[in-house]
Amino acid sequence: MSNQTHYTLWETMALAEYKNAPEKISGKTSLDGLEIKPLYTKDDLKECDHLENFPGQAPFTRGPKATMYTGRPWTIRQYAGFSTAEDSNAFFKQALAGGQKGLSVAFDLATHRGYDSDHPRVSGDVGKAGVAIDTVEDMKRLFADIPLDKMSVSMTMNGAVLPILASFIVAGEEQGVSAKDLSGTIQNDILKEFMVRNTYIYPPEPSMRIVSDIIAHTASEMPKFNSISISGYHMQEAGANLVQELAFTLADGLEYVKAAHERGLDVDQFAPRLSFFFAIGMNFFAETAKLRAARTLWASWMSRLFNPSDTKSLMLRTHCQTSGASLTEQDPYNNIVRTTIEAMAATLGGTQSLHTNSFDEAIALPSEFSAKIARNTQLILQHEAGLTDTIDPLAGSYYVENLTSQLISKANMLIEEIMDMGGMTVAVQQGFPKRAIEKIATKKQALIDSGQQVIVGVNRYQSENEPEIDVRMIDNSSVRNAQITQISKVKSARDNTAVAVALSKLKEAAQTGQNNLLSLAIEAMRARATIGEVSETLSDVYTRHRGVSEVVRNIYADAYGNAEELEPIYTAISQFKSETNNAPILYLAKLGQDGHDRGAKIIASAFADFGYDVIAGDLFETPQEAAESAISKNVHVIGISSLAAGHKTLIPELINHLKAKKAEDILVICGGVIPQQDYDFLYEAGVAKIFGPGTAVSDAALETTNAVISNNQRTHNYRKARLSGE
């Protein structure tokens, strides 16, 4: 049979019209690195080898199950957790009553980083961006009256993964549910933390030992539990394009399989329980294609590297979450539409479970009202939109299949590059994925700020009157005080000798490499050790990892394109230089335990391009540390990036430290997820400028520079005296 394509007369006429069309419909290359044409035909399916198999057949392009949603729809999940265990428990019960089918737990940043709530470094973090868990008793209250033998529980935890998973297991035991009957997932994806999210505790190598110990323990003791959720979500949220998200996530997964395999575990013993976690953004068709490409790539690489006997070991099963980065503070009800589009892309791509973000999450933690809308979005898609009527409904689409093929090819090349480096652990230690993602993130922001990428309500079609949104507020001080009281009760009632013995065994195992760390952590939590005590015991051996902050350069200004629009910034900086004989110095601070640094890195890169001397402070600084470091470096302005709701505690504390050191001449600006109703409080505390979500970096740079010029003229003599030590 001839390979020549035969077109009907109608198709021939349509192609002729397309070829003679004006230049405005010519193709483009997307920021995801995909070649996009204005018209696709059957010719674009020629290289799509992935179409040869049915759903449920390797390489599972069309879905991991033969019947997909016609047999069982995706699981509706909601990522939730805030304040105390009691408050989160009430929220969980309400969500389950409203149709949610599984629980996904968000822990506060103090817990993520392995600190008890009474630790001085976490004064602004307790209960703010998740639920505070210090002991097994907190975990028991979190799941009170929720049967753990019937409920699937997903826990986003990587840093303090050992004591958290151990606490969950002990809470189940004391509820009457054995470990073998617990179902759910622990994220346990530490490599991703070193790339983007930064809620690590220990360095990469001992962290990988923890990962493999958890895989080993769950493989033998917890047959219904997924030992790891390999996450690309936070990569996309940090700015990764789809090719990077695919390649880096799958390379992480292969590294974890390798680590467990080298421990002597048979691949078929644990690989079928691995799961994945992807972000779903606004590139609708490409996101659908991404999930199909991910399944194909995973099956191919697992077969190539490990040759498992069980085809389930080749099967990629995934949870998805709609994008948080696509949510806007401006016109927030638009976010309901964005989330719906993203949810449809995830389900058409064949996800196994889904969390839909609430429309107010660019401002604060979701309210009960917004959470209900997010949950109902999935219910409507399941019951009203016909998405569960057929299997892989976009199969055979010229466009989707071509995108799938492109993603497979481009991600494959990036995975090969990582393998040539020696695998993902080596790549992470060299900073390769982190730099690559930061470059794309900075370029994306420049395209938005310059209007080349339209965001409705932000850089085009803005509303004159913004609606007032009721947001959930957490009283951080009362939550922390309540947690400290609970810790004291547990410590006064426990057998301290038993705790000391259990922690000693854990420390010895960390030192010698012998025995399973999760098994020993379970013993410690049974004895009522705290999360912080277990984490500190391990950090005594492994140390606490300190990341290195780098600033990528010559990305933002080049991508922005319109040099004339940036000219006022350059002029203002030149004015400052002529008045002081120095470039303005910006110190970027991340206070508390918030490791999300996409915004801070973009600001650093853009301001450096404009002519600032930019100093990126260490992650996880206390207000006092940031103030002292900024003073020692003679900076003109401190920029604080806040995404975890600790701004009302941490920023005033920093300003007070500046005042105590007679450094009031240093301006303090801040940006991130800060509700409008907190602005007056921060201004009264001494903040000079606040830049909310959606602020163009170019606008922030001009406002900041003008403020620095005015402040320098006003405080010149005062600053001169301070710097001379008078």
Chain-centroid distance of CA 319 in Å reads 14
Q: Is 239 left (phi over 0), alpha (psi -120 to 50) or beta?
A: left
Say yes or no to pLDDT of 22 above 50. Answer: no
DSSP state, residue 467? P
Q: How confident is the model at residue 353 (pLDDT cuts 50, 70, 90)?
A: very high
pLDDT at 726: 53
- pLDDT over 70, % of the chain: 94
Half-sphere exposure in the Cβ direction for 210 (13 Å, CA): 32
pLDDT at 23: 45
Say yes or no to pLDDT of 317 above 80. Answer: yes
Instruction: Examine residue 59 and say whether the peptide bond preceding it is cis (omega within 30 degrees of 0).
Output: yes
Q: Is 232 left (phi over 0), alpha (psi -120 to 50) or beta?
A: alpha
| Per-residue three-class SS string for 590-612 | CECCCCCCHHHHHHHHHHHHHCC
pLDDT at 24: 45
DSSP state, residue 194? I
Q: How confident is the model at residue 1 (pLDDT cuts 50, 70, 90)?
A: very low
- β-bridge partners, 278: 320
- Mean pLDDT (whole number) for 336-344: 98
Which parts of 112-193 are beta strand (E)?
A: 152-155, 183-186
Helix (H) or strand (E) holding 35: strand 35-36
Q: How confident is the model at residue 59 (pLDDT cuts 50, 70, 90)?
A: very high
DSSP letter string, 358-378: PTTTTTSBPPHHHHHHHHHHH
405, 407, 410, 415 alpha-carbon torsion, rounded to 10°: -120
Say yes or no to pLDDT of 2 above 50. Answer: no
Which parts of 93-238 are beta strand (E)?
A: 102-105, 152-155, 183-186, 225-226, 229-231
Helix (H) or strand (E) holding 302: helix 284-306
Sequence-separated (6 or more) residues with CB below 8 Å from residue 497: none
Say yes or no to pLDDT of 6 above 60. Answer: no
Query: Residue 41: which of 71, 67, 8, 88 has the closest Cα?
Result: 8
DSSP state, residue 106? P
Mark 338-363 as b/e (b = at least 16 C-beta within 10 Å): bbbbbbbbbbbbbbbbbbbbbbbbbb
- pLDDT over 90, % of the chain: 73
CB 471 within 8 A of CB 364: yes
More confident residue, 700 or 26: 700
Sequence-separated (6 or more) residues with CB below 8 Å from residue 423: 251, 254, 255, 258
Give the tens place of pLDDT for each residue, 255-307. 999 999 998 899 999 999 899 999 999 999 999 999 999 999 999 999 999 99
| Collapsed DSSP state (helix, strand, coil) of residue 74 | coil
Give the span between the Cα atoms of 630 and 588, in whole angstroms: 9
Say yes or no to pLDDT of 7 above 60. Answer: no
CB 651 within 8 A of CB 640: yes
More confident residue, 99 or 535: 535
Give the span between the Cα atoms of 649 and 641, in whole angstroms: 14
| Collapsed DSSP state (helix, strand, coil) of residue 155 | strand
CB 478 within 8 A of CB 486: no
Give the span between the Cα atoms of 183 and 181, in whole angstroms: 6
Mark 406-417 as b/e (b = at least 16 C-beta within 10 Å): bbbebbbebbee
DSSP state, residue 29? E
Give the tens place of pLDDT for each residue, 597-639. 888 899 999 999 999 999 999 989 999 999 999 999 999 999 9
Query: Residue 134: which of 531, 430, 724, 661 has the closest Cα?
Result: 531
- Mean pLDDT (whole number) for 35-47: 88
DSSP state, residue 11? H
Say yes or no to pLDDT of 719 above 70. Answer: no
Give the span between the Cα atoms of 149 and 142, in whole angstroms: 15
The tokens describing 132, both together, are 């505070």
More confident residue, 502 or 467: 502
DSSP state, residue 357? P
Give the tens place of pLDDT for each residue, 584-593. 999 999 998 9
Cα three-residue angle 596-600-603, rounded to 5 degrees: 155
Which positions are annotated as active-site residues? Answer: 79, 233-234, 590, 594, 596
Query: Residue 129: which of 498, 534, 668, 647 has the closest Cα?
Result: 647
| Per-residue three-class SS string for 232-301 | CHHHHHCCCCHHHHHHHHHHHHHHHHHHHHHCCCCHHHHHHHCEEEEEECCCHHHHHHHHHHHHHHHHHH
Give the span between the Cα atoms of 698 and 720, in whole angstroms: 30
Query: Euclidean distance between the first and final Cα of the chain, in Å?
Result: 92
Place of tokens 């959606």: 694
What's the chain's average pLDDT?
90
Mark 467-476 as b/e (b = at least 16 C-beta within 10 Å): eebebbebeb
Phi, psi of 517 (to 5 degrees): -65, -35
CB 280 within 8 A of CB 287: yes
CB 366 within 8 A of CB 472: yes
Give the span between the Cα atoms of 122 and 115, in whole angstroms: 7
Cα three-residue angle 694-696-701, rounded to 5 degrees: 135
- β-bridge partners, 182: none
CB 418 within 8 A of CB 251: yes
CB 288 within 8 A of CB 349: yes
More confident residue, 366 or 425: 425
Give the tens place of pLDDT for each residue, 168-218. 999 999 999 999 999 999 999 999 999 988 999 999 999 999 999 999 999
